[in-house]
Amino acid sequence: MEPMNQEPLSIHSVSSTDSLEFTHFTRALTRSSVIGLDAEWKPLRAHQPTFPAVAVLQIACRLGGGDDDAVVFLLDLLAIPLPSIYGLLKEVFVSPDILKLGFRFKQDLVYLSSTFCAQGCDPGFDRVEPFLDITSIYNNLHHKQPGRKITKQTKSLATICEEVLGISLSKELQCSDWSLRPLTEEQKAYAAADAHCLLEIFNVFQLKVIKEGNSFQNVTEHGFSCLDLGLKEILKKPNSCDKILRTKFCEALAIVRATNSSVFSPRESTVRREVSVVSCMNTIPMDDSILQIVWKYSDKILLKESDTKPKTSKKKGKRKSSEGLICKEKRLENVDDWQGLPPWDLSLGGDGCPKFLCDVMVEGLAKHLRCVGIDAAVPYSKRPETRDLIDQAQREKRVLLTRDVKLLRHEYLIKNQIYRIKSLLKNEQLLEVIETFQLKISENQLMSRCTKCNGMFIQKPLTTEEAVEAAKGFQVIPNCLFDKNLEFWQCMDCNQLYWEGTQYHNAVQKFINVCKLNE
């Protein structure tokens, strides 16, 4: 069941600067006022003295300002000679004509800069501007106080996608080995979706800004009241052509930077250095709504020298002997395997219905379990204390699923109610739970629970008219569904509406394959 339809995504893999894909990529950049950035690398398995090398850089381009006209480019940084694209990327990162979107992109930029420096592209990348973090967009969509500084992240990108777009963003391949070639089709789709969803979330935000009718004409609202009339004249849109507007916009930005720099350092050399940073790519100019968002909400990423050095552990104390570590591992192995009867077993007074509690480390597994009809709860708070997890598991007679070895120390408190997941990918985790607890999964169980809150659906489906009435002030039913005579199902707990669309059938087939129900 799905709360939103999705169109096929245009994905282009770029592995050479001599390819047609690279030509398409450079042309797309000149037609894009907004791009989404993301990067993938081989996951770290232990503390390393160097940063990991970025293997793939994803750039999603919104062509010509159209909401649906988007394409994603996957730059294979293991195949492309990095010096050949260093200048282009550096110019894109600072171009005032392109708003860059990202999610926790500072870490990506640090790793990206280190990767290029290792190939002789000094000094790497030290800034991205104008930049807008997706968390900032999410906060403004939820009427939180807007501000330049991004608060500590509390929402994952998958959670933001589900709440803003109504789609489920799989993070199953996040920790796959991105250094292996060739990339699988699943890896390409995953990487592209991570970048494309940034544009989709921005589209929702831009529509909200336009709908609220915030005027861009009052330039003084955006911090220019202290500047002279000459700068205001430069910002006026000319009647001739958009190229003139773009050139004059770059001139205006140069004046702003030079003015700001002179406040702190009157030396002429400093002013010249600031002005020289301005980038004027031959791109289309931003429309008024994007410019307004840039002035009011955008920020920038600036890397300091300390950011470019891998952090080492500061913990002091005696190192544990290898013999002690081996003994500890053996003790954990004894606790790691499932033994005994689960709390829902009929012989223990249970109701026979499996119930699990997935901690924050396996929260994605909870949604997979719900998709196959299994009761899977998550902690009440985003950062629960160990005592809270134990209390919830005991009170609701659930088995606590985790990947945190430290939680196994409390096995004596919730005997036969804690299990450590060994697998890394969600599909494999699901199979591990099914096999360990001998769960019976049937096709009619699939998609029978609300993936958002774990609630059960109403017994009788709603008609389109009933669904529209039930969704008022809560959820938008796309107009394209009105003439399809679909049945709608509503969660009895959170009231989320679902229908059997393309995503529903794809999900059913996926879990038929994962659970091997055809065999």
**What was the pLDDT predicted at 480?**
76
Residues 351 and 476 in one domain: yes
What was the pLDDT predicted at 154? 61
Mean pLDDT of the 457-484 span? 81
Number of structural domains the chain divides into: 2
Assess if residue 178 is contained within a domain: yes
341 is a domain residue: no
What is the 8-class DSSP label of residue 68?
S
Per-residue model confidence as pLDDT tens digits over 347-359: 888 889 999 999 9
Helix (H, G, I), strand (E, B) or coil at 376: strand
pLDDT of residue 81 exceeding 70, the answer is yes
Residue 21 has pLDDT above 80, yes or no: yes
CA–CA distance, 334 with 436 (Å, rounded to integer): 16
Is 297 found in the same domain as 399? no
Q: How high is the pLDDT of residue 305?
A: 86
Query: Which of 97, 480, 59, 408 lies closest to 282 in space, CA to CA?
Result: 97
With beta carbons less than 8 A apart as the criterion, state whether 348 and 417 touch: no
Question: Is residue 146 very low, low, confident or very high in pLDDT (cuts 50, 70, 90)?
Answer: very low
Contact predicate 404/424, CB 8 Å: no
Same structural domain, 61 and 141:
yes
Please state whether 416 falls in left (phi above 0), alpha (psi between -120 and 50) or beta.
Answer: left
Among 99, 103, 106, 205, smallest CA distance to 154 is for: 103
Q: Can you name the residues that pair with 33 across neighbouring β-strands?
A: none
Q: How confident is the model at residue 314 (pLDDT cuts 50, 70, 90)?
A: low
The CATH number of residue 166's host domain is 3.30.420.10
> Does 266 score more than 50 pLDDT?
no
pLDDT of residue 70: 92
**383 in Cβ contact with 364 (< 8 Å):** no
Res 54: pLDDT: 96
Cα 499 to Cα 508: distance, rounded to the nearest angstrom: 13
499 and 366, same structural domain?
yes
pLDDT at site 232: 45
Q: Does residue 439 belong to any structural domain of this protein?
A: yes
Pairing of strands 127-133, 299-302: antiparallel
pLDDT score, position 250: 52
Rounded to an integer, what distance in angstroms lies between the CA atom of residue 31 and that of residue 273? 28
CB distance 357 to 392 below 8 Å? yes
Q: Note the pTM of the prediction, 2 decimals.
A: 0.55
Return phi, psi of residue 274, to 5°: -65, -45
Assigned domain for 417 exists: yes
What is the Cα–Cα distance from 174 to 207, expressed in whole angstroms? 30
Residue 21 lies in a domain: yes
Q: What is the pLDDT of residues 411-421, one digit of tens each?
A: 888 888 999 99
Half-sphere exposure at residue 299, Cβ-oriented, CA atoms within 13 angstroms: 20
Rounded to whole angstroms, the Cα distance separating 205 from 199 reads 10
d(CA 446, CA 425): 20
Beta-carbon contacts of 516 under 8 Å, excluding residues fewer than 6 positions away, are: none
262 in a structural domain: no
Tell me the pLDDT band of 326, cut-offs 50, 70 and 90.
Answer: very low
Total residues found in the chain within this entry: 519
Residues 138 and 49 both lie in one domain = yes
User: Are 89 and 192 in the same domain?
Assistant: yes
For residues 177 and 59, membership in a common domain is answered with yes
- Give the per-residue pLDDT at 251: 54
Is the pLDDT reported for residue 497 higher than 70?
yes
Residue 308: DSSP 8-state: G
**Strands in 42-173 per DSSP E:** 54-63, 70-76, 99-102, 127-133
Token pair belonging to 290 = 């994007």
How would residue 240 be classed by pLDDT, with cut points 50, 70 and 90?
A: very low
pLDDT band at 221, cuts 50/70/90?
very low
**CB of 243 within 8 A of CB of 273?**
no
Tell me what the mean pLDDT of segment 375-392 comes to.
Answer: 92
Residue 244 lies in a domain: no
Strands (E), 408-454: 418-420
**Overall average pLDDT of the 50-61 stretch:** 94
In a domain, 2, yes or no: no
Tell me the average pLDDT across 273-277: 35
What's at 311, amino acid-wise?
A: K
Torsion of CA 452, 455, 461, 467, to 10 degrees: -50
Mean pLDDT for the stretch of residues 321-350? 63
Helix (H/G/I), strand (E/B), else coil: 60: strand
Of 60-74, 146-160, 207-221, 317-331, which one has max mean pLDDT? 60-74
Higher-confidence residue of 142 and 393: namely 393
Cis bond leading into 123, ω under 30°? yes
**Range from 30-34, 151-155, 183-187, 328-332 carrying the lowest mean pLDDT:** 328-332
Domain hosting 43: range is 10-145+153-210+282-302
- 457 and 374 share one domain: yes
pLDDT value for 5: 41
417/289 same-domain check: no
Identify the pLDDT of residue 256. Answer: 52
* Single-letter residue type at 429: Q
Mean per-residue pLDDT for 313-336? 46
> CA triplet 294, 299, 302: central angle to 5 degrees?
140
Instruction: Give me 58's structure tokens.
Output: 């994803």
- Residue where the block lists tokens 């659906």: 457
CB 359 within 8 A of CB 417: no
pLDDT of 320: 46
- pLDDT at res. 391: 93
pLDDT value of residue 168: 79
d(CA 161, CA 165): 5
Check whether 139 has a pLDDT greater than 60. yes
SS3 for 243-281 is HHHHHHHHHHHHHHHHHHHHHHCCCHHHHHHHHHCCCCC
Instruction: Give CA–CA dist 452/366, Å, rounded.
Output: 10
Note whether 396 and 489 are same-domain residues: yes
User: 469 versus 192: which is more confidently predicted?
Assistant: 192
- Residue 215 is predicted with a pLDDT of 46
pLDDT for position 117: 94
Helices (H), 64-152: 83-94, 105-117, 134-141
What are the tokens at 368? 């997979």
Q: Map tokens 């390393």 to a residue.
A: 48
Average pLDDT, the chain: 80
Using alpha carbons, select from 455, 451, 494 the residue that is nearest to residue 364: 451
Least confident of 343-357, 377-391, 484-498: 484-498
Shortest CA distance to 29 belongs to which of 107, 104, 76, 85? 85
Are residues 396 and 295 both part of a single domain? no
Q: How far apart are CA 231 and CA 249, in angstroms?
A: 10
When pLDDT is averaged across residues 445-460 and rounded to a whole number, the result is: 90
Same domain? For 292 and 378 the reply is no
The larger pLDDT score, comparing residue 485 to residue 143, is at: 485
Give the pLDDT band of residue 301 (cuts 50, 70, 90). Answer: very high
Question: Two tokens at 393?
Answer: 């598991």
Q: Which of 104-118, 194-208, 216-230 has the lowest mean pLDDT?
A: 216-230
